[in-house]
Amino acid sequence: MTERPAGSVERDVTNLQIGPSHVEWKGDALEITIEERDKRLFNPFRRKVRGKVRVIPESLNPASFALDPAENHIWHCMAPRARIEVDMEEPGVSWSGQGYFDHNRGSEPLEDGFRTWHWSRAHMKEGAVVCYEGERGDGSVFASAIRFGADGIPEIADLPPAARLPSSGWHIKRRTRSDLGVSEVIRTWEDTPFYARSELSTQLYGEDVVSVQESLDMRRFASPVVQFMLPYRMPKEKR
């Protein structure tokens, strides 16, 4: 990822262009064309990252959800279930599997609206379930569980008991939801000073599932130390 100025961004009804990369609806699939370079800590050489990712929704959900009373932050799970096809040229890897597609939008920075949040998503035998909870910037809390049917239509569900997880390597506090109040971390995919994404083994609504879980600490993100560190991991294009 590279931070880019507004002049490097264009969009129309079906296409979003960010620098040399773009995201475009083509028929029934969302096609992501990646033209980037990575950046590793203390490594001045930026390798090319180039290829395509296709996201093919099994169904589409038209409903969005506000994460705060003022509706400054909106979450939209567009495809609760999807298939993905990844074909990278650099590095030369490819695979296919299950996927998911959502986005957040807002009228203020995330660090103004939230202190922490925890999110998880699991494929069920039919449809999918998303659990979303956290603490807003004003100290109020929110928590919800949403079940999506095979047709993608959402329905608010009873919130399963909280299940605490071990802190990440950077001591980010993690939590999720489970029928039995317990869950196991299979592996952590991303572990940073303010964010962790993990694969979990858990039980939801009577089904044994594998879920994707993330925890975000916006107080950590906004700290001067982390802001100083970010450019070493995420290059910034000059305006």
The predicted structure's pLDDT at residue 47: 84
The predicted structure's pLDDT at residue 74: 96
Residue 146: pLDDT band (50, 70, 90) is very high
Q: Domain map of the chain by residue range?
A: 6-232
pLDDT of residue 53 exceeding 80, the answer is: yes
What's the rounded mean pLDDT across residues 13-18?
Answer: 93
> Of 2-6, 17-21, 143-147, 188-192, which gets the smallest average pLDDT?
2-6
What's the rounded mean pLDDT across residues 126-139?
Answer: 96
Instruction: List pLDDT tens digits, range 163-181.
Output: 989 999 999 999 999 999 9
pTM of the model: 0.89
Q: Which residue has the higher pLDDT, 91 or 236?
A: 91
Residue 19: pLDDT band (50, 70, 90) is very high
What's the rounded mean pLDDT across residues 53-81?
Answer: 95
What's the rounded mean pLDDT across residues 53-73?
Answer: 95
Dist CA 29 CA 206 (whole Å): 32
pLDDT of residue 42 exceeding 80, the answer is: no
The predicted structure's pLDDT at residue 226: 93
